[in-house]
Chains A and B, each alone.
Chain A
Amino acid sequence: MSFSIDQILRGDIPRVERPPAADPSLVPVRLRVNGQDHDLQLEPRVSLLDALREFIGLTGTKKGCNQGACGACTVLVEGERVNSCLTFAIMHQGKDITTIEGLGTPDALHPLQAAFIEHDGYQCGYCTPGQICSAVAMLKEVEHGDASHVTSDLMATDVQLTDEEIRERMSGNVCRCGAYLGIVDSIRAVYEQQKGQ
């Protein structure tokens, strides 16, 4: 089939079936989650939380408030705990993202997962993935000598992780069931276990 230049300029050419045009609002986003690359097509307004849950299918990370107030959406980015609901997925390309699924599996539990089971660190379990991701990073912060609002000596880099410290450092994770006693017990147990090693 051939057309004259006039036909082409007039647009007078038969229509050919084409695949639907790609949605221009979508952009390619590559996320590295639990060591695995995921190539996604996302709108820039998709939060990291929605990308994990709705686009990658990792539903361990939970949506509680969607406004930074509950910590259910806590994941680790480059080992640091962050609220995945208040940040856009597209801002985290090329970074190592770890979710609860990447910490342990039912047959190879992370020590904190095992401790939460042993010490009744939950009731309904909704806040638990966020609590555990948060606690993993929190113990690293303690090891690093980070201070908290209740650390009396700001200069001390040798943090004594008292229950008061655990509560302050975990205050970004709210539990509707009020399993706080078990949560503190679980974290203290793992802290002592690690210290003993």
Chain B
Amino acid sequence: MRAFTYTQATDASAALHAALQNPEAKYIGGGTNLVDLMREEVERPNEVIDINALPFSQIEVLPDGGVRLGALARNSHTANHPLVRQRYPVLAQAMLSAASPQLRNLATNAGNLLQRTRCYYFYDTTAPCNKRQPGSGCAAIHGVNRIHAILGTSEQCIATHPSDMAVALAALEAVVQVQGANGTRRIAMEEFHRLPGDHPEQDTTLGRDELITSIDLPALPSTANSLYFKVRERPSFAFALVSVAAVLELEGEQIKNVRLALGGVAHKPWRARTAEEALLGKPATAENFRQAAEAELQTAIAYEHNAFKIELAKRTIVRALLTLAERQLLA
């Protein structure tokens, strides 16, 4: 690991100031991703700015009825907060399915969104990787690509975003609150992570020095139901092969409201707009769910080892929606 200087920021302006002064500096939250990547020399900051003393750990109700999740609140505390358990089961489930209890106790909400891909070649500093070293090529396209993306890929990069939390936040239409040198701004979850295109080195639209201060959740209709369904190689402590975050609201048997986001399939949480549009106003049946899933995956492209993800994604969508529909029809 490259040696670095350690700066402890006591407030947001001190943190921003330090980051603006030194383009090689990095903020640290829990460190569970950054320390790992620094040890592998994938990340090589010469200064680490500790932001843990900043007052961004609160979880509170917003005036509009939504809930604010502080950027520095730990994943474990967030998932177990009564407001999250009661109002946003999809988020609690996604977060509880991620990593391990020990990691969730360290991991912060902002750090979770900014965690980097688990593509093996991104971690392997001897392999070409456009995300790690722009212009060097992509070892995954013709390499081992079982865990890679099937939607929204580019010739430059086929990596997936590994966060479970982010998938739930996409379905909940969360808003990321950011503070930078020029003040504050809000980034809709759908605009926060990027598709790789020609710049896979940029995971998000966040500026280099910008600080995430909170993640705001809009209120959900009280009649909506939500869940997170994660498929992985083993039933615990593993990243998703495919996951689905779903929010469903029925009126009788008709779909009044539906939101779907997929994990493990793209460079960002994949908001399944095509499927949503196909479902609005239709009866909540397995057949309609299947058709919507087919429509969503129409543009999917398989690589040598990940073709299974296309069918898996369709079935996971159907399973998630059926579970929610049955729950509501029984209630």
Query: Is B a genuine binding partner of A?
Result: yes
Q: Which residues of chain B come closer than 8 Å to A125, judged between CB atoms? A: none
B4-A44 in contact (CB<8A):
yes
Enumerate the 4 nearest inter-chain pairs by beta-carbon distance, A residue then B residue, closest first. A172-B100, A44-B6, A171-B236, A171-B237
Give complex CA distance A155, B83 in Å: 10
Give complex CA distance A10, B41 in Å: 44
19 A-B contacts, Cβ less than 8 Å apart?
A25-B3, A44-B3, A44-B6, A47-B35, A68-B36, A81-B101, A83-B32, A83-B102, A86-B30, A86-B32, A86-B103, A88-B6, A91-B28, A146-B80, A151-B96, A171-B100, A171-B237, A172-B100, A173-B100
Q: Which of A85, A138, A148, A172 contacts B96 (CB 8 A)?
A: A148
User: Of B4, B31, B35, B48, which is in contact with the most chain A CB atoms at under 10 Å from its CB?
Assistant: B35
A91-B50 in contact (CB<8A):
yes
A147-B79 in contact (CB<8A):
yes
Q: Which residues of chain A come closer than 8 Å to B6, judged between CB atoms? A: 27, 44, 88, 90
> Quick one: which of B111-151 are within 8 Å of A by CB?
none
What's the nearest-Cβ distance from chain A to residue B43, in Å?
A: 12
Q: Which residues of chain A come closer than 8 Å to B79, judged between CB atoms? A: 147
Give how many A residues have a beta carbon under 8 Å from the other chain's beta carbons: 38
Q: Which residues of chain A come closer than 8 Å to B85, judged between CB atoms? A: 147, 154-155
Tell me, yes or no, whether B66 is within 8 Å of chain A by CB: no
A149-B3 in contact (CB<8A):
no
What's the nearest-Cβ distance from chain A to residue B168, in Å?
A: 13
Give complex CA distance A168, B101 in Å: 9
B36-A155 in contact (CB<8A):
no
Tell me, yes or no, whether A82 is within 8 Å of chain B by CB: yes
Give how many B residues have a beta carbon under 8 Å from the other chain's beta carbons: 36
A44-B6, A91-B28 are contacts. A172–B103 as well, Cβ < 8 Å? yes
Tell me, yes or no, whether A98 is within 8 Å of chain B by CB: no
B residues whose Cβ falls under 8 Å from a Cβ of A: 1-6, 28, 30-32, 35-36, 38-39, 48, 50, 52, 76, 79-80, 85-86, 89, 92-93, 96-97, 99-103, 105-106, 236-237
A71-B102, A74-B102, A82-B105 are contacts. A172–B35 as well, Cβ < 8 Å? no
Give complex CA distance A155, B85 in Å: 6
Residue of A nearest to B88 (CB): A154
A83-B39 in contact (CB<8A):
no
B1-A91 in contact (CB<8A):
no
> Quick one: which of A118-162 are within 8 Å of B by CB?
134, 137-138, 141, 146-149, 151, 154-155
Q: Which residues of chain A come closer than 8 Å to B86, judged between CB atoms? A: 155
A86-B106 in contact (CB<8A):
yes
Tell me, yes or no, whether A59 is within 8 Å of chain B by CB: no
A91-B28, A167-B236 are contacts. A134–B35 as well, Cβ < 8 Å? no
Q: Which residues of chain A come closer than 8 Å to B99, judged between CB atoms? A: 68, 172
What's the nearest-Cβ distance from chain B to residue A84, in Å?
A: 9
What's the nearest-Cβ distance from chain A to residue B110, in Å?
A: 16
Give complex CA distance A193, B86 in Å: 31
Q: Which residues of chain A come closer than 8 Å to B96, judged between CB atoms? A: 147-149, 151
Give complex CA distance A82, B89 in Å: 25
What's the nearest-Cβ distance from chain A to residue B86, in Å?
A: 7
A88-B48, A154-B92, A167-B236 are contacts. A80–B3 as well, Cβ < 8 Å? no
